[in-house]
Amino acid sequence: MEIGVFLTVILLAISSPFGIGAQFGEDYVRPQPRKTLAFPRRPRHSSDPQQVHISLAGEKHIRISWITDNESSPSIVEYGISPGEYTSSSQGERTSYSYLLYSSGNIHHVVIGPLYDSTIYFYRLGGQGPEFHLKTPPSQFPVTFTVAGDLGQTGWTESTLKHIDECEYDTHLLPGDLSYADYLQHRWDSFGALVQPLASSRPWMVTEGNHEKESIPFFKSGFQAYNARWKMPYEESGSTSNLYYSFEVAGVHVVMLGSYTDYHADSDQYAWLKEDLAKVDRERTPWLLVLLHAPWYNSNRAHQGEGNSMRASMEPLLYAAGVDILIAGHVHAYERSERVYDRGLDRCGAVHITIGDGGNREGLAQRFRNPKPEWSVFREASFGHGELKVANATHAFWSWHRNDDDEPVQSDQTWINSLISTGCVGEDRRRKKILLAS
């Protein structure tokens, strides 16, 4: 425990006095960071399920994850399409972990299905306790994603979550940095409780950021809490690691990459990515999205260049596959690019979006590099969230909403045309050359 507390104090000292409240735009005063919310500790003597969240787990299946403190509470989900009438049930697995002096509760993961599309299911966990409900995503366009990275658990996080909840979304995408527990494991529990109202009713698909690592040299390898608590469909997508995987929703193939695990050409992640991209069928999934934590195109002064090495390794593969949109977090601000490849404009490259502005306690990254690079279309240091409404195989509407005085103000918006609709997939000569070479 001492080591954990010590490291946290150091981390807090380095990272917190960030938001100086400097006025960046002309008419909008940047908000200060808000304090981490005060939560009660995990209730110890209840059998009721806690920290419920759901994720997609292969076609027509959903994984339900929750925590109990009762050792004998079974890993069972009962569910059905009418309240209180559970016509099906599934059994799953459980795990737990300890970290220094902390011991987690029993962490249950149960996959249910096959399920109908766009349908509300009612469910109960461990054979007792309250009823939850979830909505399965559609199998066809339109489909709506919400996006926010670097969430944390502050007053601003609450505001972001409220705005996400007000959007009629099908699946939430989180490009890394979830709880900002930073070695204090009970903060993973309070984060689980904070997001439960949303994450128990719509799939939350996450990838890891630097704050998930929590490694202690010679003592703790990284991602222990993250992997135990936020199990994603890596097995279902042919990956051997929870740190990278893919999934499909309606006509969208989404690849979740790991910025903090090996990505070089001889790595498992690289080999898996190549295979996964080769399997993408653009007739079935006309849209191809990638999420990762450390941005590859970033004109903010914060975290400058941190994504360069991963970009150098993997960008050719993504370009060859015709990735439409790449979403990153890490920088606590918003930025959207033109279509780019190899550090320049390219009509067949991806649109890059940095959206690490969920509201964590470190505050905003207020300083951008000047002059603005030609590839950068829109940039602003505010907390907020994004919405991606994929209308059909050719058109998607992207909007970014800042938390202006607690109201979601739509700030940036654009239609994005899919690369298949602009003749970029499978046709481009440069792309074929890269494919042959890799």
Ligand X SMILES: *[C@@H]1O[C@H](CO)[C@@H](O)[C@H](O)[C@H]1NC(C)=O
Near Fe ion by CB under 5 A, which window of 23-31, 207-215, 227-235, 283-291?
Answer: 207-215
Do residues 330 and 150 lie in contact, with contact meaning Cβ atoms separated by under 8 Å?
A: yes
Decide if residue 70 touches ligand X (CB under 6 A).
yes
Residue whose CB is less far from ligand X, 291 or 396 = 396
**Which residue's entry shows tokens 């654009």?**
414
In terms of Cα–Cα distance, which of 58, 247, 249 is closest to 144? 249
**Count of residues interacting with ligand X (CB under 6 A):** 9
Residue whose CB is less far from Fe ion, 269 or 354 = 354
Do residues 79 and 55 lie in contact, with contact meaning Cβ atoms separated by under 8 Å?
A: no
Residues in the chain: 438
What does the block give as tokens for 105? Answer: 């509760």
In terms of Cα–Cα distance, which of 322, 236, 242 is closest to 286? 322
> Which residue in the set 8, 15, 32, 47 belongs to the binding site for ligand X (CB under 6 A)?
47
- Partner that binds at residue 212, options Fe ion, ligand X, none, CB closer than 5 to 8 Å by kind: none
Scan residues 389-408 and list those touching ligand X (CB under 6 A): 391-392, 394-395
CA distance 203 to 54: 5
Decide if residue 127 touches ligand X (CB under 6 A).
yes
DSSP, residue by residue, 247-300: EEETTEEEEE--TTS--STTSHHHHHHHHHHHH--TTT--EEEEE-SS-SS--B
Residue whose CB is less far from ligand X, 67 or 292 = 67
In terms of Cα–Cα distance, which of 30, 35, 38 is closest to 12? 35
Residue whose CB is less far from Fe ion, 121 or 180 = 180
> Which residue in the set 36, 73, 154, 300 belongs to the binding site for ligand X (CB under 6 A)?
73
Decide if residue 209 touches Fe ion (CB under 5 A).
yes
> Which residue in the set 213, 330, 379, 389 belongs to the binding site for Fe ion (CB under 5 A)?
330
Q: How far is CA 276 from each of CA 71, 117, 248, 279, rounded to the nearest angstrom?
A: 38, 24, 12, 5
**Cis amide prior to 142 (ω within 30 degrees):** yes
In terms of Cα–Cα distance, which of 350, 264, 348, 272 is closest to 313? 264
Decide if residue 14 touches ligand X (CB under 6 A).
no
Residue whose CB is less far from ligand X, 16 or 140 = 140
- Partner that binds at residue 330, options Fe ion, ligand X, none, CB closer than 5 to 8 Å by kind: Fe ion
Near Fe ion by CB under 5 A, which window of 26-34, 59-67, 325-333, 430-438?
Answer: 325-333
- Partner that binds at residue 127, options ligand X, Fe ion, none, CB closer than 5 to 8 Å by kind: ligand X
Decide if residue 344 touches ligand X (CB under 6 A).
no
Contact string (CB under 5 A) for Fe ion, positions 141-180, x = contact: ------------------------------------x---
Scan residues 373-392 and list those touching ligand X (CB under 6 A): 391-392
Angle at 161 between CA 232 and CA 26, to 5 degrees: 125
Which 8-state DSSP code applies to residue 68? E
Cα 202 to chain centroid distance, Å, stands at 13
Q: Which of 108, 211, 303, 385 is catalytic?
A: 303
Q: Is 45 a catalytic residue?
A: no
Residue whose CB is less far from Fe ion, 124 or 330 = 330
What does the block give as tokens for 397? Answer: 């509407």
Radius of gyration of the chain (CA): 21
Q: Cβ 106 to ligand X, closest distance in Å?
A: 10
- Partner that binds at residue 209, options Fe ion, ligand X, none, CB closer than 5 to 8 Å by kind: Fe ion
State the burial class of residue 114 (Cβ atoms within 10 Å of its Cβ: 0-12, 13-18, 19+).
exposed
Scan residues 343-382 and list those touching Fe ion (CB under 5 A): none
Residue whose CB is less far from ligand X, 68 or 300 = 68
Q: Cβ 169 to ligand X, closest distance in Å?
A: 18
Do residues 174 and 151 lie in contact, with contact meaning Cβ atoms separated by under 8 Å?
A: yes
Decide if residue 417 touches ligand X (CB under 6 A).
no
Decide if residue 196 touches ligand X (CB under 6 A).
no
**Contacting positions for ligand X (CB under 6 A):** 47, 70, 72-73, 127, 391-392, 394-395
Which residues are catalytic, by number?
Answer: 303
**Contacting positions for Fe ion (CB under 5 A):** 177, 209-210, 330
